[in-house]
Amino acid sequence: MRHLLSAADLDRDAAVGLLDTAERMAATQEREMKKLPTLRGRTVVNLFFEDSTRTRISFETAAKRLSADVINFAARGSSLSKGESLKDTALTLQAMGADAVVIRHQASGAPYRLAHAGWLASAVVNAGDGTHQHPTQALLDAFTLRRHLVAAGDAGLGRDLAGLHVAIVGDVLHSRVARSNVDLLHTLGARVTLVAPPTLLPVGVEAWACATSYHLDEVIAEGRPDAIMMLRVQRERMGAGVPANGAPVATGFFPSPLEYTRAYGLDARRLAMLPEHAIVMHPGPMNRGLEISADAADSPRAVIVEQVANGVAIRMAVLYRLLAGEREAF
Ligand code: CP
């Protein structure tokens, strides 16, 4: 593996291999001494052009746990505000000796450009590009699903997600998480149903490797999903802005926040309709009261905080695979 740009680039063996490596990384994090010497002398640059809490912090934690040097580069406060291009930024990182560049960018395709333009010798990891891909999110989601719903024997090592049904609900149109999850879950043998209003499903979704529905209650009652993944309503991509108090706002994509919540929100009533073993997921950050109620977000079936913790093990596995390859044992 040279770069990680899209979940679609991973075949079953590569994906299961990363999940297995993450399982072993997670085991090392149970120890008193969490730090491994594996990437000593390597430099990982976190290049974030868009805001992030979970992804940026967990890449930084993962790199540090592997003993890499970490440079955090945020667009705000950098020379980008003076008009510096992606190319010149990349050349600067190259001059600094970056071994891996973890990039989040508002433009779909920016990580691909960085990886293939010939500006950098480093490995490139896509930490979320526009509405396109967020492969490490899909990997940590698959890891969480496997731990809860598949794990048997040695934490499910070597196993995929065959036979599971995952419902992904909400703002699919603007969601790189949905796209990455459809790709990876399909590769791992799971069945996916996307549930959204017609205005929040992308053109061409019929060609994706999943089913679609406009009716959440029907999917829960008849589809009996093993996991329900609620998506954030991405108000910042709807031209609606995000008010300082975070309150739900009307957008052109649904009649009102209240109607959206009634039709597509996960609340206590829908939580009670889910199969007993089903888990509740959300990539975060959550709009509590819009796509997910506090009852659902804080219920014992919610694995949302666990998803964040699993992100560190997954990102350790990805950095390990990219920078240490198969040669070094950890
Ligand atoms: N899930 C996710 O990408 O969260 P952040 O935007 O906080 O990184």
The full set of domain ranges for the chain reads 7-134+308-327, 135-304
Alpha carbon dihedral 17, 122, 324, 65, in 10-degree steps, equals -90
In the residue annotation, 54 being an active-site residue is answered as yes
Give the active site residue among 24, 28, 54, 92.
Answer: 54
Query: Considering the domain 7-134+308-327 in this protein, what is its CATH number?
Result: 3.40.50.1370
Give the active site residue among 38, 55, 144, 187.
Answer: 55
Alpha carbon dihedral 189, 190, 196, 201, in 10-degree steps, equals -10
In the residue annotation, 134 being an active-site residue is answered as yes
pLDDT surpassing 90 at residue 243: no
For 37-63, the pLDDT digits (tens) are: 999 999 999 999 999 999 999 999 999
**Mean pLDDT, residues 58-79 taken together:** 91
Which ligand 1 atom minimizes the distance to the CA of 104? 8
> Which of 46, 51, 53 most suits a substitution to test ligand 1, by most atoms within 8 Å of the C-beta?
53
Helix (H, G, I), strand (E, B) or coil at 102: strand
- The CB of 310 under 6 Å from ligand 1? The reply is no
Phi-psi region of 120 (alpha: psi -120 to 50; beta: other; left: phi over 0): beta
Report the separation in Å between the CA atom of 54 and the middle of ligand 1, taken as the mean of its atom positions.
Answer: 5
**Mean pLDDT, residues 173-184 taken together:** 98
7-134+308-327 shares its CATH topology with 135-304: yes
Give the active site residue among 132, 134, 148, 176.
Answer: 134
pLDDT tier at 140 (50, 70, 90 boundaries)? very high
The predicted pLDDT at position 244 comes to: 59
The predicted pLDDT at position 83 comes to: 77
pLDDT tier at 79 (50, 70, 90 boundaries)? confident
The predicted pLDDT at position 329 comes to: 52
Retrieve residue 320's tokens: 């390990």
What is the C-alpha to C-alpha distance for residues 142 and 9, in angstroms, rounded to an integer?
Answer: 15
Retrieve residue 72's tokens: 């955090």
- The CB of 54 under 6 Å from ligand 1? The reply is yes
pLDDT surpassing 60 at residue 241: no
Q: What fold, for 135-304?
A: Rossmann fold (3.40.50)
Order of all β-strands in the sheet with 165-169: 211-213, 191-195, 165-169, 227-230, 279-281
The predicted pLDDT at position 29 comes to: 94
pLDDT surpassing 60 at residue 326: no
Retrieve residue 53's tokens: 């809490």
What is the C-alpha to C-alpha distance for residues 77 and 79, in angstroms, rounded to an integer?
Answer: 7
The predicted pLDDT at position 18 comes to: 98
The predicted pLDDT at position 75 comes to: 79
Taking alpha carbons only, the member of 50, 61, 49 closest to residue 25 is 61
**Mean pLDDT, residues 22-29 taken together:** 96
- The CB of 237 under 6 Å from ligand 1? The reply is no
